[in-house]
Amino acid sequence: FVFYLDPKIAVGTVIEMDDGKIVLVRRAIEPGYGKWVFPGGYVDRGEEITLAAIREAREESGLEVTLDHLINIYSYAGRTPIIVVYAATCIGGLLAVDDEGLEARAFEPVDLPWDELAFRSTFEALTDHLARRD
């Protein structure tokens, strides 16, 4: 018998609105309380990863999205989660937060709160996304 400790898989979405603004949520939980992230969370056991990304976007931002493409997969030595991040486009809903968020806001790319991001993966995914847009 071999026992494997599996990593946790998390998903995130960098959501663009019709006007090109990018949606971020300010966290109401630790780690990163009060800091900004893209909507995301853990994949449920047996859940398809793309459906998890769409679900987390809806739960954390109030928005319905369509996934455009994979931005990247982020993993870090000594850290448990593997974060799969998609670019997404808003197709409906109203910007709102659930109990894990203090605030949701759509930022012009030049106004993103780079010094107030919660996680390295947030910084890297936004950087990768914006580089691909240009």
State pTM to two decimals: 0.93
Q: What 3-state class would DSSP assign to 9?
A: strand
List of residues 6+ apart from 61 with CB closer than 8 A: 15, 23, 25, 39, 93, 95, 96, 97, 104
97 located within any domain: yes
User: What Rg value do the Cα atoms of the chain yield, rounded?
Assistant: 14
- Alpha helical stretches, state H, the chain: 49-61, 120-133
Expressed as residue numbers, the domain containing 36 is: 9-133
Cβ pair 47, 81 in contact under 8 A: no
The shares of helix, strand and coil residues in the chain, as percent rounded to the nearest 5, are 25, 40, 35
For the stretch 23-72, pLDDT in tens is 999 999 999 999 999 999 999 999 999 999 999 999 999 999 999 999 99
Looking at the structure of the chain, the number of domains it has is 1
61 located within any domain: yes
Closest by Cα among 64, 12, 19 to 38: 12
Cβ pair 53, 70 in contact under 8 A: no
For the stretch 92-116, pLDDT in tens is 999 999 999 999 999 999 999 999 9
For the stretch 61-76, pLDDT in tens is 999 999 999 999 999 9
4 located within any domain: no
Q: What CATH number is attached to the domain comprising 29?
A: 3.90.79.10
Share of the chain above pLDDT 70, in %: 99
129 located within any domain: yes
